[in-house]
Chains A and B, each alone.
Chain A
Amino acid sequence: MLLFAYFIIVVAIAKIVRVFSRKRLDALTLTISGLDVVDPRRFSRTITLRNAGTLVVIGVVTWIFSLINDARSGWYGLPLLLAPGIAVAIGVLVFALLSTRIVSYRGPRRSASLLPRTAWSYGPAWGFLLPLIAAGAVIAFAIAAGLESSQQPDGAFRAIRIGTSAAGPYPGWYYGVPLIAVTVLLAGVTVFALGHIASAPRSAADNDPIDELDRIVRILATRTVMQLSSGALILYSGCVSMVAGWATSNAATTFAPGSRVLQHLQPATAIGVAEIIVGVAFALQGGVLLTLSILDAAQQPLRRVARSRVLSESVTS
């Protein structure tokens, strides 16, 4: 029920964000008519297939990790924790490596722009800071939680001890070290993917509509990758913060027989509650970014043109 409410809120916020950014999104669609429409249409279909393929890969990797998690109960949910990060990293890699060349034109006269394309060419500067800040937040939080964690009887740092009582699961070193590794992996894959999207060859045909379509496709791909990786990282921050807050609150609460609360130790309880609130906010933000990335991936860069209009323009041209 709680998860269902989360999805509803996330989708509602994502929809509101899309409504407010409608003008900007309208600028990311192009109408090409006449005889020129054949190659872009074909390209548009390959973009749809690429995006759908990426989502399938993310889904399959998450499902495999959930199976591993079910089979290995002694790993205390570690595969489930790593699933989103690794799934998104593999998905982003698939997304970037599939070709973005619009038209494989190989005529005798070929043109190229003299503007260098870099990983930062197709998005606003602040957009690139988002995954960087999110990665920094995950790593900082994992280190802080690791330092606060205490050892369980099996030797793993996955609990928190406050006074004489301990509670878990807590994102100590047992979860924190793999989480830091996944964060570094995801950040690296994101930079690689952005570079690959920017440096993929452009069409060598000197054709304005195709050049514009190329630019739009690269902007949408950059947005998708940024939102996907930032969303996964912020969602991580949120989930880790919530789990840490829950464990901290439990460890700071003294229970009497019958689950009756005897006392809350302060400031640990307050810290725990604050971690839960921050975690919920981050989880919502991460979910919204992931939803926006799916919506961007689903956006068609080519606006549909009525067939009759295309035919009439073909005849007159």
Chain B
Amino acid sequence: MITIDDDDPTPPFEQVRAQLADQIRAGTLVADQRLPSVRQLAADLQLATGTIARAYTALETAGLVSTSRGSGTRVRADQGIDDNCRAQAQKFAQALNQHGLSLADAISLVRTEWPTTTGSG
């Protein structure tokens, strides 16, 4: 399932791209799974076909999906984050959620702490 929110300041193409990328990374969309056609998704979400095509192109450039004339757009293999990391992320999200933090605050916190863990800055 994918959702578009007109009230969100993020451009629609970026909303589509980000949600698809998240679902591929999280393993909700598995390797070799076929995505709906540009026309189908555009018609269902009542967006222009160009908007969906742009999101698909961005995903292809990022190496998350591959498009071929015969088999449409499919999720590429080995793009999901492994189960252990996802479980850790889930624990982390639940813990911060219990502390009443918003998603934006949680991401900000990770961004701040990240350089200290990698040591590269």
A117 neighbours in B (Cβ, 8 Å): 36, 40
Bitwise interface map of A from 105 to 117 toward B, beta carbon under 8 Å scored 1, else 0: 0101111111111
Partner of A108, one of B7, B34, B45: B7
Contacts of A202 in B (CB 8 A): 44
B44 touches A116 (CB 8 A): no
Asked if B5 is at the interface (CB within 8 A of a chain A CB), the reply is yes
A204 partner residues in chain B, CB cutoff 8 A = 44-46
Pick the residue among A110, A111, A115, A200 that contacts B36 (CB under 8 A).
A115
User: Could you tell me if B44 and A201 are in contact, using CB atoms closer than 8 angstroms?
Assistant: yes
In the complex, are the beta carbons of B23 and A114 less than 8 A apart? yes
A-B contact count (CB 8 A): 60
A108 engages B44 (CB within 8 Å) = no
Tell me whether A199 is interfacial, beta carbon within 8 Å: yes
Nearest CB on B from A73, distance (A)? 49
The answer to whether A114 touches B2 (Cβ under 8 A) is yes
Return chain B residues, CB-CB under 8 Å to A201: 43-44, 46
CA A109 to CA B3, docked complex, whole Å: 7
Q: Are A109 and B6 in contact (CB under 8 A)?
A: yes
Closest A residue to B47 by beta carbon equals A110
- A212 smallest CB distance to B (angstroms): 15
Are the C-beta atoms of A112 and B1 separated by less than 8 Å?
Answer: yes
Binary flags per residue of A154-193, CB closer than 8 Å to B gives 1, else 0: 0000000000000000000000000000000000000000
Complex Cα gap A117–B1 (Å): 14
C-alpha spacing A16/B68, complex, angstroms = 47
Contacts of A113 in B (CB 8 A): 1, 36, 44
- In the complex, A39 has a CB within 8 A of chain B: no
In whole angstroms, how far apart are the Cα atoms of A109 and B6 in the complex? 6
Interface of B is mostly: mixed
A206 interface residue, CB < 8 Å from B? yes
> Which residues of A are found within 8 Å of B23, using beta-carbon distances?
114
With contacts A199-B39, A204-B44 taken as known, whether A116 is within 8 angstroms of B6 at the C-beta atoms is: no
CA distance in complex: A199, B46 (Å) = 13
A201 vs B44: C-alpha distance in the bound complex, in angstroms?
5
Q: Considering the complex, which residues of chain B in the window 1-58 have a beta carbon less than 8 Å from any beta carbon of chain A?
A: 1-7, 20, 23, 29, 34-37, 39-41, 43-46
| Nearest CB of B to A67, in Å | 40
Do the beta carbons of B7 and A112 come within 8 Å of each other? no
* Complex contact B37–A116 (CB within 8 A): yes
Would you call B72 an interface residue if the criterion is a C-beta within 8 Å of the partner chain's C-beta atoms? yes
Q: Which residues of A contact B39 (CB under 8 A)?
A: 199
Q: In the complex, A117→B40 CA distance in Å?
A: 8
Q: Are A199 and B5 in contact (CB under 8 A)?
A: no
Partner-B contacts on A (CB < 8 A)? 106, 108-117, 199-202, 204, 206
16 A-B interface contacts by CB (under 8 A): A109-B6, A111-B1, A111-B2, A112-B1, A112-B3, A113-B1, A113-B44, A114-B1, A114-B35, A115-B36, A116-B35, A116-B36, A116-B72, A117-B36, A200-B43, A204-B46
